[in-house]
Amino acid sequence: MKINREDIKILYTLDEIRDAAKKLGKEITDFYKDKTDVIHAVCILKGAIHFFTELVLNIDIDVIYSFIHITSYSGMDSTGRIRVKSWLEEDLEDKYLLIVEDVVDTGLTLRYVMRYLKKYRPKDIRIAALAEKSSHDHGIKVDFVGFHLEDQFLLGYGLDYDERFRNLPFLGYVEK
């Protein structure tokens, strides 16, 4: 399917996303502040890039950055297979991890990431996501969620359709 810019409708503007990130940043700060003065935030590239940068600016304790690059989508659907393009090198033993994801759909990506990050024996792992789709009973507890959404195909603000449209300055959608 070919998608043109004109087909993409705005779901949330940049201001609305920033407000959501501010609210989540406060929730996250409140959650950790009595537990630790530093957390390790793990950004799942590429989709979470903008959400990650916005979110960490709103967390009022020290945040150490880690990046992993994983793909599972092709076109508009999950392929059901995970490909790891690059992985982090930090020592995570006994650390407080906050995984930062763009959208949780089937949960495949997060299940994979959680399984491997647990092997580092961190003290605690939490998940923050810009959006969670209600379409699948993915069985993963997303601790901090920006938006609860229907099963829509999303684009923009980091999310792509075959690598395009990531830099749209809003979270958009097209009808499937």
Residue 106 binding target from ligand IMP, Mg ion, none, CB below 5 to 8 Å by type: ligand IMP
Buried-exposed string 119-138: b where 16+ CB fall within 10 A, e elsewhere: ebebeebbbbbbbbbeeeeb
> Rounded to an integer, what distance in angstroms lies between the CA atom of residue 164 and that of residue 167?
8
Determine if 47 is a binding residue for ligand IMP (CB under 6 A). Answer: yes
Other Cβ atoms less than 10 A from the Cβ of 69: the count is 14
Tell me which of 28, 108, 117, 130 binds ligand IMP, using CB under 6 A.
108
Of 167, 169, 161, 15, the closest CA to residue 76 belongs to 161
108 binds, among ligand IMP, Mg ion, none (CB under 5 to 8 A by kind): ligand IMP
Query: Mapping DSSP to helix (H, G, I), strand (E, B) and coil, where does residue 176 land?
Result: coil
Q: Of 15, 91, 105, 137, which one is the catalytic site residue?
A: 105
Residue type, 44: I
- Total binding residues toward Mg ion, as defined by CB under 5 A: 1
Please report whether residue 56 would count as binding ligand IMP according to CB under 6 A. no
Site for Mg ion in 42-71 (CB under 5 A): 47
Which range of residues in 50-58, 83-91, 114-122, 153-161 is near ligand IMP by CB under 6 A? 153-161
Q: Check whether the bond before 46 is cis (ω within 30° of 0).
A: yes
Q: Binding of Mg ion at residue 156 (CB under 5 A)?
A: no
Residue 54, contacted partner among Mg ion, ligand IMP, none, CB below 5-8 A by kind: none
Instruction: Supply the residues annotated as catalytic.
Output: 105
